[in-house]
Amino acid sequence: MQSKRYEAHSANEAIKKIKADLGANAIVLSSKKLNGKFEVVAARDENNEILKKSEAGKTEKDELNALSIIRSDVNEFKLLIKDFKKERGINAELAEIKETMNVLFDVLGVQRNEKVSPFLSKIYYHLISKGVSKERACDLIEKVKNDGSVGEINSYDHALNAVEGMIKRTIVPFYKNTEKKRIAAFIGPAGEGKTTTLAKLAARCLFEDGLNVGIITMDTYRIGAAKQLKTYVDIMDIPMEIASEKKEFETALNKFANKDVILVDTPGKSRSDEDYLLKLKECLKTDISLETNLVLSMTSSRESMMDAVTRFGIIDYSSILFTKLDDSRQSGSIYNVIEHTGKPVSYVADGQNVPRDLKKMDPAKLARLIVGKG
């Protein structure tokens, strides 16, 4: 393998140099920005062994299924290198893809010249089709391979069930180590479905559990927000207080001292508004213990969800609640979030029906949902 180091003023310039010197089949091994310049290490594999193995394996059905998938990822990697028009974030993207490809090759045994399991490759692509990130899909497959209790995987269903069981064992149960709090606040970015979800939970507490419910809304920013919630509470005949400041919030809590459950709706402002997040954190800091649910929409991109869990982490939320599952086919995105945060999932909402379309979660239900069985 021939490798060389290049310096350039931009990612575009570096890629042009690499292509001119090593050709279109060059692979970027590492890249970093140093003193205002891009430093890139690239290589050209003269033998191109991985692709040759893939071509040679076309006569064998099992190896074709797995290695053709690997070729697809390799080609995708090369296309990203060639697409030098998209300079923004290209170094980070290439580094992430290179690392993921190395992990995938190792998991499937390519780098160790092991026989590739067609079941593992199929499960890998099933997981990423459901929204599980490539890195986490690789990690799950590796854990299943090394789990002695699984035994020899002899079918697709066997492999999928093994992955489901692995996910179930790693999920943190809701309220495992703490008691359910009497006060529950719902936070999250705008448009995630906080108000509708709160109404669903209020209806369930009232009609199914027979609890005495009070509602506080802190959302005085969005036009018509309090009015929307007022429509719900009037139908259910539940008292509601409006509190935009910390003192008003504490007054409302005292007013509802006799309630079994107090549900708190918060403004859905931009997750990048740090001043708002700090103010919200201060408002929710009271002498009365409460739980905080971060509400995330399943229609949001993976990047948006991961950004939200990071930015709202300043509030130290207790659990996560996913909405709009009925509008998304990416149920595996749930795993990316909970594996990253280590937080439990309280509920999943999958429709507009109040209160029916709100399901309480446990590890078994979540695992089935993530792998696409739920």
CA distances from 38 to 91, 127, 241, 335 (A): 9, 35, 56, 34
Q: Are 293 and 184 in contact (CB under 8 A)?
A: yes
The pLDDT tens digits for 78-88 are 555 555 445 54
pLDDT of res. 269: 72
Which architecture does CATH list for 183-370? 3-Layer(aba) Sandwich (3.40)
pLDDT of res. 105: 55
Question: CA-based diameter of the chain, in Å?
Answer: 76
pLDDT of res. 232: 85
Q: Is the peptide bond before 355 cis (omega within 30 degrees of 0)?
A: yes
Q: Averaged over 152-169, what is the pLDDT? A: 90
Q: Averaged over 286-294, what is the pLDDT? A: 89
Q: What angle do CA 239, 240, 246 make, to 5 degrees?
A: 140
* Confidence band for 253, pLDDT divided at 50, 70 and 90: very high
Say whether pLDDT at 294 is over 90: yes
Q: Which two tokens stand for residue 245?
A: 């400041």
Say whether pLDDT at 162 is over 70: yes
Say whether pLDDT at 295 is over 50: yes
The pLDDT tens digits for 205-222 are 999 899 999 999 988 766
Q: Which two tokens stand for residue 248?
A: 């008003």
pLDDT of res. 81: 53
Residues 13 and 247: their CA atoms lie apart, in Å, by 57
Residues 260 and 212: their CA atoms lie apart, in Å, by 5
Ramachandran angles phi, psi of 81, nearest 5°? -65, -45
Q: Which two tokens stand for residue 281?
A: 């954190």
Cβ neighbourhood burial of 228 (10 Å; 0-12, 13-18, 19+): middle
Domain boundaries, the chain: 1-116, 117-170, 183-370
The overall pTM is greater than 0.75? no
